[in-house]
Structure 1
Amino acid sequence: MATLSYSSPGIRNPVAPIISRAFVSLSKTLSIPPSTFPSSIDGAYRHRHRHRPLHPRPNSISESSVSPPASSKEEEEESGLEEEEEEVDPCVEVRYLDPAMEAGSIREWELDFCSRPILDERGKKVWELVVCDGTLSLQYTRFFPNNVINSVTLRDAIASISASLGVPLPQKIRFFRSQMQTIITKACNELGIKAVPSKRCLSLLLWLEERYETVYTRHPGFQQGSKPLLALDNPFPMELPENLFGEKWAFVQLPFSAVQEEVSSLETRYAFGASLDLDLLGLEIEDKTLVPGLAVASSRAKPLAAWMNGLEVCSVEVDVGRGCLILSVGVATRYIYATYKKNAATTQEAEAWEAAKKACGGLHFLAIQESLDSEDCVGFWLLLDLPPPLV
């Protein structure tokens, strides 16, 4: 376990592991080679979920919701194949609201407004608006020519989603492309919606991953090898603001079953934190598999957790070359969260932590406590590394 002061550039003298009763110190597992972590979990989402649809059959305004009855088993099979083809029709725009979902309960949307690797009849790249909620109970897509891309177009499109699906405008809309912040923020402000730059748009990112394979690559205008117009930023990490300083930290692990318990009780036990929809992610992790995390201790744990709660925490990663931990928040902000003195032991522990994260498909967590031997957390954030979208 590494223990250090955030205000000093180096590691303090090593001490015996002091951790919460629920946590397992990573240093206790270093005798296990990283290669022995579960290999059945593919760290790259796009390979693990290639054949797993993320959403139910959409109700599109451009297709019929009534299928003709089948008169035989053969006709039923043929009908099923036809419906499957219709489901991935690259020219169909999605208009879907889960009939079991109460429309007024969907208060937060995730939004992407960007060009796609598809050319229209003018030879220009098509733009697309993709909107969903965190559970994919709401889904909406719409294509646009590149000469109408502005905040007015987006504002009117957002309003039309509310009208066409019969749902109220959301309180918040998250988006992950920093280059679109001006347009999205202006459109949202005019509708009284809070625009939130955040890479915690996991449902949207996973849906885009699926749409790349089932829609964009099958579109007649698809351009193989076309690079994304608005690539995600990965800026050089900055110094950590003083209000985010902790006092000690430790690499820790929790069994996946315990992580699930933490997520299920997040709203009742903690004032601060964020969860992920593990069912939607479909991670094939055994209950006993240890999920890596970072435990941070501070005598001012509650104020620290409150500040962290407003940052849209995305991920924590180890930079072995620099001997530091990088905290990613929002859409384009990275902080040097902590540093450690590089030696064989600390490098091995850091590499083992990253290997454990990769073995869990990128799943990890951040826990804030009053002390490292505390039995309770003040804040708990479930995090996930995902590859950048292909569009």
Structure 2
Amino acid sequence: MNNSIWQADFYRRPLKDKQDQQLWELLICTPTRSLEFTAICPQSEVNAHWLVEQLRKVGQGQDLPDTIQVFRPQSLGLIETAAQMLGVKVEATRHTTALKQWLLERAQQYQEMKTYTGEFYDPLKLDSPPPVPLAENLWGDRWRFATLPAGNIKDIIERPIPILAVPEFLLPLNLGLSSTLPIPGVVIDGGRQSMRLAQWLEAAQPYFLKYVSGDPDGLILEAGLVDRWVVATFSDREVSLAAQVYEERKQHSQGLHFLLVQPDDSGMTYSGFWLLH
């Protein structure tokens, strides 16, 4: 069994014990859910040492993982502290599909428990700050919506690109997408700022780019665990129509889209490429 990655969530649930104390639950699974572990903890006992004990319990049957992935900001600090005591790396990432699916299933199961409080509960909801404009010293020369045939993405990622973020599970082939399907994306010609922008994006950890209609319309980058950035605003009708087509194409590509940063539109060099979902 390959347990080099675990996904974990440790947070309060819509559950209370007989003393009316809020209950927290620890969920740990592998990306394939071949391993699943749960433990309940009263809020008064929530600390890193309790977590260390639970992680050791899970590790009794198999080795501890190389990495524990965490998507919830409120879980991150405690899990990082516990993992550090055990010499395990923690990765803050939204890409915890198996864990999120399990959380949705658990939310249904809570309703059957005697400790269920009956309160509304969305297991995946995270408080997200309002979007912040990108710093002017990062912004490039121009940007545009674009498409790439799914089959061409493999060619692009084989090129020498300084910053490349292409999770294997997001490759079009692994999503079962046709090689001719147009994958929507955003291309930024960064000019002299191209490498600086790509490095900033690498640190920010892009997750997805979405069009938001308004006055003006906007292109919002969701990044990190809950960060949001205003990549661009526009009121031009043609750009807004292109943005709507961009969102429609995402529906056909199972949400797959890309972000490409390059110095110019010559196609000679790229600074950074991200597959997003």
TM-score, structure 2 length as denominator? 0.80
Q: Which residue of 2 aligns with 1:296?
A: 188
Q: Structure 1 unaligned runs (5+)? A: 1-97, 385-391
Give the CA deviation at 1:114: 2.2
- 1:280-318 C-alpha deviation (Å, 9 max, x unpaired): 997454332222111112234334323322222111111
Matched residue of 1:347: which SS?
helix
Q: Which amino acid aligns with 1:253?
A: T
- Indicate whether 1:275 and 2:169 are aligned: no
Question: Aligned with 2:204: secondary structure?
Answer: coil
Paired residues for 1:25-40 under 5 Å: none
Q: Distance in 1 between matches of 2:173 and 2:138?
A: 29
Larger radius of gyration: 1
Partners of 1:367 and 1:116 lie apart in 2 by: 39
The 2-side partners of 1:138 and 1:372 are apart by 46
| Percent of residue pairs bearing the same amino acid type | 27
Specify the alignment match of 2:204 in structure 1.
Answer: 311
- C-alpha distance 279-373 of structure 1, shift in aligned 2 (>3 A): closer
After superposition, the Cα gap between the structure-2 partners of 1:169 and 1:289, relative to the gap in structure 1 and judged at 3 Å, is closer
Structure 2 CA distance, aligned partners of 1:229 and 1:120?
19
| Counterpart residue number, 2:92 | 197
Q: Output aligned runs, 1:138-153, within 5 Å.
A: 139-147=35-43, 148-153=45-50
Change beyond 3 A, Cα 1:353–1:229: closer
**Which stretches in structure 2 are left out of the alignment for 5+ residues?**
none
Note if 1:347 corresponds to 2:240: yes
Q: Per the alignment, in what secondary structure is the counterpart of residue 307 of structure 1?
A: helix
Quote the offset at 1:372 in angstroms: 2.3
Q: Does 1:239 align with 2:133?
A: yes
CA contact (8 A) 1:327 1:337 kept: yes
Which of 181, 198, 204 is the matching residue for 2:76?
A: 181
Alignment CA distance shift 1:332-1:352 (3 Å): same
Is 2:250 the partner of 1:357? yes
Give the strand-richer structure, 1 or 2: 2
Cα distance in 2 for partners of 1:306, 1:232 equals 26
Cα 1:366–1:132 change in 2 (3 A) is farther
Total equivalences in the alignment: 273
Query: What is the CA–CA distance in structure 2 between the aligned matches of 1:370 and 1:358, rounded to whole Å?
Result: 29
Native 8 Å contact 1:179 1:230 kept in 2: no
Give the 3-state SS of the residue equivalent to 2:35 in structure 1. Answer: strand
Partner SS for 2:220 = strand
Residue aligning to 1:94: none
Return the alpha-carbon distance in structure 2 between the equivalents of residues 326 and 274 of structure 1. 19
Q: Distance in 1 between matches of 2:121 and 2:149?
A: 39
User: Higher relative contact order at CA 8 Å, sep ≥6: structure 1 or structure 2?
Assistant: 1
How do 1:63-102 and structure 2 match up within 5 A? Answer: 98=1, 101=2
Picking from 25, 33, 55, the partner of 1:128 is: 25
Structure 1, residues 126-179: CA drift from partner, whole Å, max 9, x if none? 53322345x437633212133332222223323433x32432442x43322222
Query: Which residue is 1:329 aligned to?
Result: 223
Task: State the Cα distance separating 1:383 from its structure 2 match.
Answer: 1.0
Contact kept in structure 1, 2:172 and 2:179, CA below 8 Å:
no
Aligned to 1:115: 12
Q: Tell me, in whole angstroms, the C-alpha distance in 2 between the residues paired with 1:305 and 1:220.
A: 51
Q: Is the 2:170–2:275 contact (alpha carbons within 8 Å) kept by the matching residues of 1? A: no
Residue of structure 1 equivalent to 2:146: 252
Answer yes or no: is the 8 Å Cα contact 2:262–2:271 preserved in 1: yes
Distance, in Å, in 2 between the alignment partners of 1:327 and 1:227 is: 26
Q: Secondary structure at the match of 1:365?
A: strand
The whole-number CA distance in structure 1 between the counterparts of 2:171 and 2:264 is 32
Which residues in structure 2 correspond to 1:216-227 (within 5 Å)?
Answer: 226-227=120-121
Aligned to 2:213: 320
**Structure 1 residues 303 and 360: CA distance shift in structure 2, 3 A:** same
Match of 2:63 in 1: 167
